[in-house]
Amino acid sequence: MILLTVKISADAFRKSPASPGEFDKAWFRLVNADTSQTLDYKLIKDVSSPDNASGTEDNGAGADDADEGGAAPSKGATYTYVAGRIFYDHQGTTGKWVYESYNHCFSSERFEKGEIELAEELGGIYQRSEEEVIEQAEEIREARLKVTANEEDRKLAAAVNAAKKKAPSKNGAKKETAVEEEKKDAEVPKGPPVVKELNLLKPADFG
C-alpha cells in the first residue's frame, strides 16, 4: 500500500504565519502518467482542519485554531493531510491497482498516541488486515482439502462394502466345493473292473 500524506507542524505556522490568500491556489493532484488522466484533485484550502470537521469556513488544514476562537494546538502538535492511498486489490482473476481518495486532515493531538504516527498506524492496520485475509484464505483451502479427503474416503468405503455384498460367502463356497467333489466321486467307477471274455468273431466286443 502507498499512503499519500503531507505532514506539517503547527509551530512552523506560528513562527512564520501565512499571509492572507497566500495558499489559496495550493492544490493536490494525482495524475496517471500514461494517460494524463487526473485521478484526484483538491484545493488545500477546501480541506477542513481537524477541529472543523463540519466543513464550515476555516483557513485550511494548517490554520491556527486560536485565530478562529478555538483552542490553539499544543507545542509540537502536527497536522497530517491524507490525500488517499494506492493499493493492489487481489480479488478477481488478475487483480488491479486501486486508488482511494480521502482528503482528510488529522491532528496528532487526537489521532496519534505516544511515538506512533498516523501514517504508521494506518500502515499497521492495512498490514494486519492483509495478514488476516491470507490466514482466512489458508483456512478455507485446508477445509476444502479436508472435505475432499473425507469424500474420497466415503467413496472408497462404499466401494468396499459393495464388493463384499457381491462376493460369495465362505459357507456357500464350501457347499459348492463339496457338491463338485461328490459329482467327481460319482463319475469314478467303484470296485475292480468287470472281466469280460472277448470273442474274436464279434467286433462289437472291441468297441
| 75-122 pLDDT, tens digit each | 778 888 889 999 888 777 788 889 998 888 888 877 766 666 788 888
Helices assigned H by DSSP within 53-169: 108-111, 118-166
pTM of the full structure: 0.53
Specify the 3-state DSSP secondary structure of 31.
strand
Which residues, in sequence order, are CB contacts of 187 under 8 Å at separation 6+?
Answer: none
Q: Would you call 7 exposed, middle or buried from its count of C-beta atoms within 10 A (0-12, 13-18, 19+)?
A: middle
> For residues 86 and 98, is the Cβ–Cβ distance under 8 A?
yes
CA nearest to 82, candidates 56, 55, 121: 121
In tens, the pLDDT along 22-55 reads 888 888 899 988 899 998 998 888 887 775 444 4
Q: How many CB atoms lie within 10 A of CB 16?
A: 7
